[in-house]
Structure 1
Amino acid sequence: MNNGKVYQGSCFCGAVQFTVSGEPNGMGYCHCESCRRWSASPVNAFTLWKPEAVQITLGAENIGTYNKTPQSYRKWCKTCGGHIFTEHPGMGLTDVYAAVIPDFPYHAGVHVHYQETVLRIKDGLPKMKDVPKEMGGSGVSMVE
């Protein structure tokens, strides 16, 4: 599923730079409390990639890690504090925040953890109670 495209990304100050290549496994919006608190926003725009599609090109030593749970290893720049991505080892995917890859053509396909939303969004996209079954969730859809 590699389209041959490579997109450049970075933290807020540019001390950490990376590329993502090919196509993500999924894109959407997460409404869970953890993502909201981590991103300091009512919703987090995600892009999910296989770990080998994400390459740190500058500043690997400048990446901090925090994991509140074993499911999510959140990464940020130690210089500016800018959030970069979250590794999800159980899913075998890395969530690169859409905002840090500015030239990537982001097109959300789903809302996940919508039962926790604090911001209702009426955009016609599927709203999942948690996550799709293939990702270990219930697969239950919610009304927009």
Structure 2
Amino acid sequence: MNKGSCLCGAIIFEVAKFQPLIGHCHCSMCRKFHGAAFSTFGEVKREHLQWISGVELLSHFHARNDTTRSFCRHCGSSLLFESKFNREAATVEIALAAFDDIDDVNPDAHIYTESKVSWIALSDNLPKYKGYREI
């Protein structure tokens, strides 16, 4: 079981199992949501996510592109992302940086690199996609 929390510790959750696609997202919305050069989200089925405490403290931002980003209303920690795809698949994406320890999760791609900040170089061997994962 992988356990995580927000910065203030009011929201605590556990994830039993991640879906296989774990990406570093460089889109401008993720960068602004996390205040970082990119974000790394892990997709989980809702049935594999358990809220231990503080779920009522989640606040939500609904963007024009029909996505929802959720964060702790006390400390502002960026925690969840949900798109139309996630709603249809009964999944949610969780910020990997919010986990205390995480097992068996390895990012497999950089996505939306067309929006990447100019001051960071992507020097790892992961595939790099201009948008979402192209086939």
CA positional deviation for 1:24: 2.7
Identity %: 26
| CA drift at 1:9 | 0.8
Q: Distance in 1 between matches of 2:36 and 2:92?
A: 20
User: What residue in structure 2 maps to residue 3 of structure 1?
Assistant: none
TM-score by length of 2: 0.87
**Does the aligned pair in 1 maintain the 2:112–2:129 contact within 8 Å?**
yes
> For residues 62 and 21 of structure 1, what CA distance do their matches in structure 2 show?
22
Q: CA deviation at 1:39?
A: 0.5
Establish whether residue 75 from structure 1 lines up as the match of residue 73 from structure 2: no
Name the structure, 1 or 2, with higher relative contact order (CA <8 Å, separation 6+): 2
- Give the whole-Å Cα distance in 2 for the aligned partners of 1:50 and 1:43: 23
Distance 1:114 1:19 in 2: 30
- The alignment status of 1:97 with 2:98, answered yes or no, reads no
* Structure 2 runs not aligned, ≥5 long: none
Q: Contact between 1:71 and 1:90, CA under 8 Å: does it hold in 2?
A: no
User: TM-score if structure 1 supplies the norm length?
Assistant: 0.82
Residue 82 of structure 1: CA displacement?
Answer: 1.2
Residue in structure 1 matched with residue 132 of structure 2 by the alignment = 131
Structure with greater strand share of residues: 1
Partner of 1:121: 122
